[in-house]
Amino acid sequence: MPIFEYHCKNCGIKFEKIVLNREAPPPVCPHCQGEEVEKLISVPGSVGVASGTGTSAPSCSTGSCGGRGFS
């Protein structure tokens, strides 16, 4: 089931809604019941280490894999 993000043009809040039918009309705002909402472009989620956190996996090419690297 796809989850879409919306922005209410009336009160300005952002909210998510599970949409079962892509042809369904836009939902109403859960905060103000406004009908002027726009669908936002969502970035798909992923699992992993965020960039810029300073963490990285060890690399065998630098010899940091416990001496079990390939020769």
pLDDT digits (tens, 9 = 90+) for 3-57: 889 999 999 999 999 988 878 888 999 999 999 999 998 777 666 665 555 555 5
Is the full-model pTM beyond 0.85? Answer: no
CATH number of the domain that 39 lies in? 2.20.28
Assigned domain for 15 exists:
yes
Assigned domain for 61 exists:
no
Assigned domain for 65 exists:
no
Assigned domain for 54 exists:
no
Range of the domain at 4: 1-43
Assigned domain for 63 exists:
no
Residues 16 and 13: their CA atoms lie apart, in Å, by 10
Quote the distance between the C-alpha of residue 51 and its chain's center.
15
